Amino acid sequence: RLFDLDPDLLPLFQYNCKQFASPQECLSAPEFLDHIRKVMLVIDAAVSHLEDLPCLEEYLCNLGKKHQAVGVKVESFSTVGESLLYMLEKCLGAAFSPDVREAWTRLYGAVVKAMRRGWEPLPGGD
């Protein structure tokens, strides 16, 4: 769903200097699947530390810096969030109530907020 929502994200996923010709090629690449596992580990850490999200602040800030360094724009996290909610809705079905959606939206928002702190103004005033 990620590339359906924003096809311009595809070039950000380059592994070993290989650019994918299509979203399908990227989605089936072992490196992309590994990246998805890492994303889910971050989500899992946030869920596990729900009562103390500030303990993840430094880690998430550094993760934001890494994403900025490879050209990810903060706005792209909205698309990732939409994709996450879509996946949860498909997996949970009727259990994905408005309250559950709101809880996930808030959790993901907190993760992104912490990651945004890692973004530095780019040289040249951007």
Q: Give the CATH number for residue 99.
A: 1.10.490.10
- Measure the CA angle with vertex 93, ends 90 and 98; round to 5°: 100
The HSE-up count of residue 124 (CA atoms within 13 Å, CB side) is: 2
Q: 23 with 10: CB under 8 angstroms?
A: yes
How many domains is the chain built from? Answer: 1
Tokens representing residue 26 in the block: 């990227």
User: What is the pTM for the complete model shown?
Assistant: 0.84
User: What is the per-residue pLDDT across 36-92, written as a single tens digit (0 to 9) for each?
Assistant: 999 999 999 999 999 998 999 999 999 999 999 988 998 999 999 999 999 999 999
Helix (H), strand (E) at residue 48: helix 30-48
* Domain membership flag for residue 125: no
Domain range for 109 is 10-119
* Domain membership flag for residue 70: yes
Write the burial class of residue 119 (CB in 10 Å: 0-12 exposed, 13-18 middle, 19+ buried): middle
